[in-house]
Amino acid sequence: MMAAERGASANTLAAYRRDLEAYGLHVAAQSRDLKSAGPEDIRSHLASLEASGMARSSAARKLSAIRQLHRFLHGDGLSGDNPATAIESPRAGRPLPKVISEAEVAALIATAKARVPKAKGKALVKAWRLLCLLELLYATGLRVSELVGLTVRAATAERDFILVKGKGGRERLVPVSGEARGALSDYLKVLTAGDGGGSNWLFPSSGAAGHLTRQHFALELKALGREAGLDAARLSPHVLRHGFASHLLAGGADLRAVQQMLGHADISTTQIYTHIQSDRLRDVVEAHHPLSSKKS
């Protein structure tokens, strides 16, 4: 059915075969066959997968194959009911975002600044562009797609804010620090004097999109990280966005304000950053709570 009716690929068929063969062996070990399997068989199979250390995301994929099998058996009249309807998917824990320290951000920016005096011609524009990208990203927490897709007008229409069009076409005003605004101003002067002065894009490119791609920025960021002596594998534009949010919260910023700046529709998405503050909060309690062992 998967091959004939759904046109599933060979890789998909092979994955389903492996998952269902393992499930079939588990059911057979309970002296039952697939047509007579019940919810307890599915639950015990999932429990054995979890006990083996399998990730919840992988277990959820295997459960999807089991569900489709029982839906097929029941739909074709080969079994009396569908035992998979009573089974909930394993809940995958939300991974904590990768973090970057304030010292590491400072090292990145210092390294980018050091490139500027050494650069000439087009290399000078690229050096200022990277510095401007860094300053804006860390100062605003924009998504990388929002950052590279900025127009000159959106970035300069307001002195202290940038107008951003985010997910779902929702627009928001994001405040910009004086340091980032200065880097933006200096970059625009160099850009205007060069070949990119006639473009509407803030970070123009000769590529199909017309502006710098997020992939190219990510590569430049990793190269800069290596030059700064940092682990390039840990660096990405999204990590800097995480740094913006976590450093603001560590400094006492209001969660709702951070939510608005990040452009999160749901505050629960922003709350993930509060979890990475757990060590700092524990230290605060231990240092200041009247019954703390450190105060006694």
Give pLDDT tens digits for 80-110. 899 998 888 766 555 656 779 999 999 999 9
Per annotation, catalytic residue among 26, 241, 242, 247 = 241
> Active site includes 238?
yes
Per annotation, catalytic residue among 167, 189, 234, 280 = 167
pLDDT of residue 283: 64
**Domains of the chain, earliest start first:** 10-86 (1.10.150.130), 102-281 (1.10.443.10)
> Active site includes 32?
no
Per annotation, catalytic residue among 143, 211, 214, 247 = 143
Low-confidence ranges of the chain (pLDDT < 70): 90-97, 195-197, 274-285, 288-289, 292-296
> Active site includes 294?
no
pTM for this one? 0.63
Q: What is the 3-class SS of the chain, one letter each residue?
A: CCCCCCCCCHHHHHHHHHHHHHHHHHHHHCCCCHHHCCHHHHHHHHHHHHHCCCCHHHHHHHHHHHHHHHHHHHHCCCCCCCHHHHCCCCCCCCCCCCCCCHHHHHHHHHHHHHHHHHCCCHHHHHHHHHHHHHHHHHHHCCCHHHHHCCEHHHHHCCCCEEEEECHHHCEEEEECCHHHHHHHHHHHHHHHHCHHHHCCECCECCCCCCECCHHHHHHHHHHHHHHCCCCHHHCCHHHHHHHHHHHHHHCCCCHHHHHHHHCCCCHHHHCHHHHCCHHHHHHHHHHHCCCCCCCC
pLDDT of residue 197: 65
pLDDT of residue 143: 92
> Active site includes 241?
yes
> Active site includes 16?
no
Give pLDDT tens digits for 159-185. 899 989 887 778 898 999 999 999 999
Per annotation, catalytic residue among 74, 115, 165, 264 = 264
